[in-house]
Amino acid sequence: MDGFTLSPTKGPANQDAMATLTPPAPPTNVRFTRISAGYDHSLAIGSDGNTYAWGYNNEGELGDGTNTQRSLPVRVNTPTGVTFTQINAGKYHSLAIGSDGNTYAWGDNGSGELGDDSKINRSTPVPVHAPSGVTFTQISAGGAHSLAIGSDGNTYAWGDNSFGQMGTGTSSSTLPKRVSAPAGVTFTQINAGWNHSLAIGSNRNTYAWGANWYYQLGDDSKINRSTPVPVHAPSGVTFTQISAGWGHSMAIGSDNYTYAWGYNNEGELGDGTPNLRSTPVRVSTPAGVRFTRISAGYWHSLAIGSDGNTYTYGSAYAWGNNSEGELGHGTGGNQHTPAPVSTPSSGNPTNTWKTISAGNSHSLALDSDGHAYAWGYNRFGQLGDGTTNDHSKPAPVLTPRYVIDGVAFGGASVTSKTVNATTGAWDMHVPQHTPGAVDVTVAYHLDGLDVNGNIANPRYQSGTVTLRYTYATPYTVSFQLGGAPGTPPASQYSYPDDPQPINWPVPDPVWAGHWFDGWAKPDGSPWDFTQPVRNDLTLTATWRTPRFTMTPTRGPDTGGTTVHITPPDPPQPLRFTQISAGSFHSLAIGTDGNTYAWGYNFNGQLGDGTRASRSAPVRVSTPPGVRFTAVSAGGYHSLAISSDGRLYSWGSNSNGQLGDGGSSDRNTPAPVNPATDNTATWKTISAGGYHNLALRADGHAYSWGANTHGQLGDGANDPNPHSTPAPVNPAADNTATWKTISAGDSHNLALNRDGHAYNWGADNNGQLGDDNTTDQRQPTPASPAADNTDTWTAISAGGYHSLALNRDGHAYNWGANGYGQLGDTTTTERHTPTPTTRAITITGTTFEPTNAPHHPPLEPHHPHRGTPPRPTHPEGQATVTIHWTLDGATQPNHTLTYDYTHYYTLPKAGGAPTQQLAGATLLTLTTLTALTLTSHHITRKHHHTNQPTTSSK
């Protein structure tokens, strides 16, 4: 809760115990993962799991329980136990989706835009009253209305509908109402402007509704629309990203160009003119640059370029010409075509912009390190730098650092502790207490830090947070050294109501002249550290004395005698409970609770702190107190899940695949950043070539790393790598949760709850199984097999092909097949699921008793069928012995019977043998033969072939 972590959360009653309290997001302190600019306020989600807000707060839109303006980020008062995974700032209200699946709203409610069936302003988040059985998966806050996509596939709206911006064809509403989407169309993307709305449909058309005074609906009219109408996109172009401003709209097209339409008096359409546009026109992007993200503000626009630069165009709002500096150029004046935002004067100069958001007259951007920057109007502190001064260039939003001031367990204060200077964590002696659960009260304050980690605004906020700790009677695991000198490791505990494994004590005990052989149970057998403890237990160190032997042990003083030295048997071989193979390295989890690796290590993928390749398992250098429960080896990097569900990575980071926000390789495990929606615990991982997939507990998929072929599945036409986990888009049919995932080199497979397969990413070899070779940037259903099989129990993504098992255990494959990897007895590429085929091959035949072997040529369409010529043989029966293999393995010979008969050729009968003539023809010829026997002779026709037995080709 609130980003503070207490470990462990349970300890022994009435005795001394240790616990560690860690403040949010050490050691780098809080970074931001999502941002959203409202009219005069700003929202952000922090890497600590909290949501922050700053700026204007007269209507309670900051959600901190007050109406006080804030010039520094303050924590939104989220409901107990809930973190927000999506945020969106409207004019004077805010929306969020919670980790509990509910949607929340706060701020102005004069038009019912909070959706709580009232018109009462709220200064802390309240649940939106979603329709029964429906949860919202996407949200957007407008001027005084709100939009959301529901889990049922419908789009909903609430709040002001004066201009039809709800799209319901009805009046304003304080409760969500279904948007009147065109028949057969569901919306996959929504964006609410001040008084109009945009959406992308499942048919790939873009729709608009609401106010249309300035042509912002793009339907070549100025007629307000109360239900969705198609935007008149250029011929052959569909839009993949949309953004609605005050009186203008923007979109990125399937042709990679950016388009805009509507109000343009300030140049916000970026087409080089001040002319209003009733249909989309192309934005004049800089030469060679394509925009990958866009955001429409009140009278200005923002975009991120494919080169990582941020561009803005347009001018200031009503009183014009960039007088508030919202374009970030450092100069004033309208700008009618995109121009670069100034580079921040602080921070890492190699960083790039990842996210942007345009407000009324201020702008926000997030860089690749998770630092937020702001520029423009700042009268209400909406730039978050601790001042109310406007900025015409990007200035850093100060990030909060949490400092622990005090801790009390059940009212008893902690008096003995050490403070980690790097992380700020307290390693504490827990006050003794009788059995039972108690509150742990943590007092803290926030320091405002600049991008270099220096305190720019000390103690700007303080507060308390309450955690829980349970004193219980445990199972105790004690350790003995088995005769070795020294102090045994500290006891560890497991609890009857939730038995857990214990950790392998670190460091290993040492005894001169002895080999440590592990920890043994009282019966002498080794303890498996992956198993939960279910009773009191004493583990004893086991030792072996290594003894080398030498033969002979004596010889002449003149030397020259050959001496043989025999080493002792090595320590007991490791036993593993889980394994994973990468391109050139391997990972495994041992029964000792440690993780091991071996193989290629140029990028540090073995995680042992070196870059030396290893031909035998070496222990991965896991962080203190961390135990990995799942591992996955990728191309040149490694992933692991720890026992608390956290994610770690190491190895190559060339494409951000380590998920730490950077691009530097690591040779020891380090935590992966929380996802952009703050998800930080996981149940399943799969490492691909240069990207990764992960599932959280509810089955939602996340991805990060390389995106050259859309393998991140985020739906964006952005080939740039992403260095922080972000959600995979739902499929077009709204499938968004998965039970199984598998990452290949540049493509992915996933099974939904019904066993249907979905694919996304590279499709150059048909590895997506959707009957084409077009890359897909969001999950796309695999086509059924020719036999209509379309549900599966297991999947696995290879380098360029895919494999699945149906419910009967039969294997199907699709994709590349140059080496026969699809197992269908061909080397033909397949673009839909194709079953593996068992291959029967005839390798030879022998006709007995002649022992006349010969070649068995194979028929072109039947590689298992031979058509051998028959050798010479006297009239009568012969045994044919067939030599054959099944799946390449030699099988017992099979025998058939062949009849040899005499063939007679009659003169002038066309050379036809008598066996082929019948009826009256045969009778006539027989008579003629008898009458003319003296002038004709009978010839016996034989086939003269005698070839050796060979293998078929």
* pLDDT, tens digit (0-9, with 9 covering 90-100), for 412-429: 999 999 998 878 899 999
Question: Which strands sit side by side in the sheet containing 122-127, from one edge to the other?
Answer: 84-89, 93-98, 103-107, 122-127
pLDDT, position 583: 93
Q: Rank 72-81, 846-855, 938-947 by mean pLDDT and report only the highest.
A: 72-81
CA dist list (Å): 608 to 125, 334, 578, 636, 681: 46, 56, 18, 14, 24
Concatenated DSSP letters for 78-125?
PPTT--EEEEEE-SSEEEEEETTS-EEEEE--TTSTT-SSS---EEEE
Whether the CB-CB separation of 216 and 264 falls below 8 Å is answered with no
- Give the 3-state secondary structure of residue 928: helix
CA distance 389 to 116: 36
* pLDDT, tens digit (0-9, with 9 covering 90-100), for 752-795: 988 999 999 999 999 999 999 999 999 999 999 988 888 999 99
**CA-closest candidate to residue 539, choices 499, 587, 583, 501:** 501
pLDDT, position 794: 92
Domains of the chain, CATH where assigned: 5-27+401-472 (2.60.40.10), 474-519 (no CATH), 577-835 (2.130.10.30)
- Give the 3-state secondary structure of residue 930: helix
- Three-state SS across 663-722? CCCEEEEEECCCCCCCCCCCCEEEECCCEEEEECCCCEEEEEECCCCCCCCCCCCCCCCE
Residue linked to tokens 């790939």? 204
285 CB-near residues (< 8 Å, 6+ apart): 257, 258, 291, 305, 311, 338
* pLDDT, tens digit (0-9, with 9 covering 90-100), for 217-271: 999 999 999 999 999 999 999 999 999 999 999 999 999 899 999 999 999 999 9
* pLDDT, tens digit (0-9, with 9 covering 90-100), for 914-937: 444 444 333 333 433 333 333 333
CA distance 592 to 518: 8
**Could you tell me how far CA 376 lies from the centroid of its own chain?**
35
784 CB-near residues (< 8 Å, 6+ apart): 790, 832, 833
235 CB-near residues (< 8 Å, 6+ apart): none
Instruction: Record the tokens describing residue 17, joined without a space.
Output: 């115990």
Torsion angle of the four alpha carbons 58, 63, 65, 69, in this order, in degrees rounded to the nearest 10: -40
* pLDDT, tens digit (0-9, with 9 covering 90-100), for 361-385: 999 998 877 889 999 999 999 999 9
Question: Which strands sit side by side in the sheet containing 291-296, from one edge to the other?
Answer: 291-296, 300-305, 310-314, 335-340
Q: Which residues of 932-944 are buried (b: 16+ CB within 10 A; e: fewer)?
A: eeeeeeeeeeeee
> Going by DSSP bridges, is the β-strand pair 417-419/277-282 parallel, antiparallel, or unpaired?
unpaired
Share of the chain above pLDDT 70, in %: 88
Poorest-pLDDT segment among 12-26, 118-132, 154-168: 12-26
Residue linked to tokens 């690796």? 597
pTM of whole model > 0.75? no
Instruction: Record the tokens describing residue 468, joined without a space.
Output: 């829980």
Is the pLDDT assigned to residue 555 strictly greater than 80? Answer: yes
Whether the CB-CB separation of 46 and 85 falls below 8 Å is answered with no
* pLDDT, tens digit (0-9, with 9 covering 90-100), for 639-686: 999 887 889 999 999 999 999 888 889 999 999 988 766 677 899 999
Poorest-pLDDT segment among 89-103, 421-435, 714-728: 714-728
Q: Rank 427-431, 508-512, 540-544 by mean pLDDT and report only the highest.
A: 427-431
> How many angstroms separate the most distant Cα atoms in the chain?
132
Residue linked to tokens 């949760």? 737
Average pLDDT over residues 21-37: 79
Is the pLDDT assigned to residue 906 strictly greater than 70? Answer: no
- Give the 3-state secondary structure of residue 916: helix
Share of the chain above pLDDT 90, in %: 56
